[in-house]
Structure 1
Amino acid sequence: MKCINSAKILVKEDEVKSMSKKDNLSVFISLILRHKPETIGIKLDNYGYADVNELIGNINSTGRNINMEILEQIVKEDDKQRYSFNDDRSKIRANQGHSINVDVELKELEPPKYLYHGTATRFLDNIKNEGIIKQNRLYVHLSNDIDTAAKVGKRHGVPVVLKINTGKMYENGYKFYLSENNIWLCEYIPFEYVEIFE
């Protein structure tokens, strides 16, 4: 079974085949807006925005079929609210999850007392030694609830949920940001603030 491996995004071939055309387009747009705009020969601005007309035209040049109506449906129906338009809908960007350096104008806020991080059991030894690091992304992603974190963990293998004492981290000077789609972000989490949630 082949994998499409781009910027550490792994999508199994049979999963791609089982997706709707719209879901496949959403995965492709995520790759472009978060990791590899050069895949279709476009550039993002400093704030992570792509020109909508250029995005649509260049996606169509790859043999895919997209127009403004389809793009608006993808943005509206995405269950994780990954994307947002600017005010006049001439530009679009991913709300978070980038591996390229852009400023998505995150809001720095005080986090809840606890947040959760989903990962796989095979990463636990590294986390115990190094803490939770952002890997190829700009931030570590944190969830408000255990169920969401568990779903994230399942993407990487046998899931495990880590409970993070974000209140204590904030007291100790760590900065937290809330993305447009309500994902909490932090640059690094030392293991001393981590509890393995059973």
Structure 2
Amino acid sequence: MPDEKRKVRISRFLSMVLRHQPDSVGLTLDEAGWADVDELIAACAARGRRFSRAELDHVVATNDKKRFAYSGDGRRIRASQGHSVPVRLGLEAAEPPDTLYHGTASATLPLILAEGLKPMSRQDVHLSADVETAVRVGSRHGRPVVLAVDARGLAAEGHVFRISANGVWLTDRVPPRWLRRHPTG
């Protein structure tokens, strides 16, 4: 099994390839974001990023955010969400809980409160079911702020929610009237 630093490097590289730049290794994702595992390993090795199937299995199994998933037969892999390349994950609409959370950096708060949450370079806005996850997400970009999203009200207005394989809630956007600052952030 890879050491922790190698595991993180492989995971970050896979995120880049499977979410944003499959063409950087000469890979093409299908419309649902899947890539053939053997082709992925070979394409990465051809670009100087070598890892074994056992290392890939370890990264997929131990990733704390469950960023990647294998197909049922284990022959294909994809990112669970977060794509900037066009994919259709085939996620069914789901009834959200009353409140979901979004973690961000304090520097972005004024713009978000004025314009709402937008997918930016991704296909969807990402929301968390718990405050702790939102704090971790917000911490990646500076001093974290947590926003509570009135998901029930947003859904009643017609916004569709889906939940990814790793528990991230997805929706197209969140207008500012459905946001409030959570006391934690």
- Residues in 2 aligned to 1:61 and 1:126: alpha-carbon distance in whole angstroms: 42
* Secondary structure in structure 2 of the residue aligned to 1:173: coil
- Residues in 1 aligned to 2:92 and 2:8: alpha-carbon distance in whole angstroms: 29
| Residue 39 (structure 1) aligns with | 24
- Residues in 1 aligned to 2:13 and 2:138: alpha-carbon distance in whole angstroms: 22
* Secondary structure in structure 1 of the residue aligned to 2:61: helix
* Secondary structure in structure 1 of the residue aligned to 2:146: strand
Deviations 1:27-73 (A, max 9, x none): 00010000000110110001100111110011112223211111111
Greater mean alpha carbon deviation, residues 54-63 or residues 110-119: 54-63
- Residues in 2 aligned to 1:36 and 1:150: alpha-carbon distance in whole angstroms: 27
- Residues in 2 aligned to 1:173 and 1:121: alpha-carbon distance in whole angstroms: 29
Question: Matched residue pairs, number?
Answer: 181
* Secondary structure in structure 2 of the residue aligned to 1:23: helix
| Residue 159 (structure 2) aligns with | 174
* Secondary structure in structure 1 of the residue aligned to 2:11: helix
2:131 aligned with 1:146, yes or no?
A: yes
Q: Which structure dedicates a bigger proportion of its chain to strand?
A: 1
| Residue 56 (structure 1) aligns with | 41
- Aligned AA for 1:135? M
| Residue 78 (structure 2) aligns with | 93
2:89 aligned with 1:112, yes or no?
A: no
* Secondary structure in structure 2 of the residue aligned to 1:189: coil
Deviations 1:7-28 (A, max 9, x none): xxxxxxxxxxxx6112101100
| Residue 67 (structure 2) aligns with | 82
Identical-pair percentage: 40
- 2:144 corresponds to which of 148, 159, 166: 159
- Residues in 2 aligned to 1:92 and 1:26: alpha-carbon distance in whole angstroms: 13
2:48 aligned with 1:69, yes or no?
A: no
- 1:183 corresponds to which of 125, 146, 168: 168
| Residue 4 (structure 1) aligns with | none
Question: 1:172 Cα deviation (Å)?
Answer: 1.5
| Residue 6 (structure 1) aligns with | none
RMSD of the TM alignment (CA)?
1.2
- Aligned AA for 2:175? P
* Secondary structure in structure 1 of the residue aligned to 2:137: helix
Q: TM-score, normalised by structure 1?
A: 0.88
- Residues in 1 aligned to 2:167 and 2:131: alpha-carbon distance in whole angstroms: 15
Question: Is there any run of 5+ residues in structure 2 with no aligned partner, and where?
Answer: none
* Secondary structure in structure 1 of the residue aligned to 2:48: coil
- Aligned AA for 2:166? N
- Residues in 2 aligned to 1:65 and 1:85: alpha-carbon distance in whole angstroms: 19
* Secondary structure in structure 2 of the residue aligned to 1:133: coil
Question: Is there any run of 5+ residues in structure 1 with no aligned partner, and where?
Answer: 1-18
| Residue 20 (structure 1) aligns with | 5
| Residue 15 (structure 1) aligns with | none
